[in-house]
Structure 1
């Protein structure tokens, strides 16, 4: 199929398909001498996977990382996507129920407590299936970091721990400033460089790690020992740094 035919079949614009080709996310089976992109059935299956992951909130960078991993399994991915969609459907059903009850509440038909008004929202879990996907196909920085630590002497590990604490203290001193400030970005860059000496963190992985600092109370509790609110500050500063790095 030519690119225009794929666009008509799937509803994805020609421009988007060209972009997917340019970034290496969806390469057509072949290109003719005149420059026409020709897509195969396998290309269409890959496009379906891309669209499922996009619908579920995955970035193009993460999708590319997932589907190009040597261990990627399409059937396993479909099963994961199904679980994510079922989970989302359940969440949407709960929110629709709260909306219906809120409408009745405003009409005076029922009375809702403040707790009931927010029963459809859940900000505590994050997305457990995205985390599962990252562990299954994505970031291997943790394994790399652990391997490097294991190869270090006790003295080297202590020195590394001291350096980590110094960065945390530096960031804690800046936590009341804007995460976008030059000072905050210079300090968070030290954290970025530190982590990449231990593993291999892409800007997106760095940003995701910052989110974990806030979503996982274990991280928050440990980080905030250096100063209350540090975890949130680091998350925001890491997001700014990552977005700027990805745009370069």
Structure 2
């Protein structure tokens, strides 16, 4: 199996896992078109584009930690985390569907939904709430 074939299988597996874990909920909340478009966008990613999303995740974590250390969701590091998060979302969302309202709503869900909150809390205790607060400032 070539590296390209391995990468295609990797993406298909991620999409299948995501569909199994969150598909019904995503489709109910945001509709089939949004779910299908996101899956198609991921399926069409190059390895370079995928690697960029992984870099963005790392940069979000770093900026989030720096912002939390500064203690100001409106500060430069926190706002950098919010902007990096926007870039990460846009890597997966259908072109032209990003909105500040959707970004803010997703950040609020990160606090309200324990599954998503746990991801950010693994970065640092309070990180989900801090990111949500930073995104609210960013989207104001």
SS of the residue corresponding to residue 45 of structure 2 reads coil
Number of aligned pairs?
Answer: 111
Q: Are the aligned partners of 1:213 and 1:219 in contact in 2 as well (CA < 8 Å)?
A: yes
Q: Are the aligned partners of 2:82 and 2:134 in contact in 1 as well (CA < 8 Å)?
A: yes
Could you say which residue in structure 2 is the equivalent of 1:240? 137
Structure 1 residues without counterparts, runs of 5 or longer: 1-130, 244-248
In structure 2, which of residues 100, 121, 126 is the aligned counterpart of residue 224 of structure 1?
A: 121
Shift of 1:186: 2.8
Q: Are the aligned partners of 1:169 and 1:226 in contact in 2 as well (CA < 8 Å)?
A: no
The yes-or-no answer on 1:164 pairing with 2:46 is no
Could you say which residue in structure 2 is the equivalent of 1:201? 98
Write the deviation string for residues 197-248 of structure 1: whole angstroms up to 9, x where unpaired: 33132110000000111111011111121111111101111111112xxxxx
Could you say which residue in structure 2 is the equivalent of 1:149? 42
Which protein, 1 or 2, shows the higher relative CO under an 8 Å CA cutoff with sep ≥ 6? 2
SS of the residue corresponding to residue 226 of structure 1 reads coil
For normalisation by structure 2, the TM-score amounts to: 0.65
RMSD over aligned CA atoms reads 2.6
Rounded to whole Å, the distance in 2 between the matches of 1:156 and 1:192 is 15
Rounded to whole Å, the distance in 2 between the matches of 1:239 and 1:159 is 25
For normalisation by structure 1, the TM-score amounts to: 0.39
Shift of 1:155: 5.4
Rounded to whole Å, the distance in 1 between the matches of 2:87 and 2:49 is 17
SS of the residue corresponding to residue 88 of structure 2 reads helix
Shift of 1:196: 1.9
Could you say which residue in structure 2 is the equivalent of 1:77? none
Cα pair distance change 1:151/1:133, threshold 3 Å: closer
Alignment of 1:61-76 (within 5 A): none
Shift of 1:171: 1.1
Highest Rg: 1 or 2? Answer: 1
SS of the residue corresponding to residue 125 of structure 2 reads coil
Rounded to whole Å, the distance in 2 between the matches of 1:144 and 1:132 is 11
Cα pair distance change 1:182/1:216, threshold 3 Å: same
Write the deviation string for residues 21-45 of structure 1: whole angstroms up to 9, x where unpaired: xxxxxxxxxxxxxxxxxxxxxxxxx
Cα pair distance change 1:145/1:164, threshold 3 Å: farther
